[in-house]
Amino acid sequence: MTRRSQRLIVLLLGLGALGSASALVLRAFGSNLVFFYSPTQVVQRAAPHDRAFRIGGLVQQGSVQREGGASLLLRFEVTDGAHRVPVRYHGLLPDLFQEGKGVVAQGRLGADGLFVADQVLAKHDENYMPPEAAAALKEAQAR
């Protein structure tokens, strides 16, 4: 075997290893992607039924209901003003979760149109500032 053919084999093995690693990374990346859909897109059946996604909007006023009293299982609706999607969630809610406030829920859409969330994130408005930063600004303005 000549020296040139040995280099060619090493180069081909390196390219094969690089291609395999790239394929594995892309596959892992693709399986972990979670897309965001609005309630209107969910109602219009643009959201997938076979994989997890995120839905976001406002918590509909008067829609939050706990099942079984003090249970961690609750239902609420997410709206974008045009459409509403019922959501069922079992777990602790974030402190900022309130009716009429922004929310993002991650989960899967059932065949019955019920979105079963496994994670709920409450959104704050764009004017939010951490208390420490707000105090620092207030103190700086007082000087």
Question: Torsion-angle region of residue 5: left (phi > 0), alpha (psi -120 to 50) or beta?
Answer: alpha
CA distance 105 to 87: 8
90 annotated as ligand-binding: no
Instruction: Give the 3-state secondary structure of residue 128.
Output: coil
Q: What are phi and psi of 22, to 5 degrees?
A: -65, -40
Q: Which of 55, 119, 49 has the alpha carbon at shortest distance from 83?
A: 55
49 annotated as ligand-binding: no
CA distance 101 to 79: 10
Annotated binding site: 124, 128
Annotated binding site for heme: 124, 128
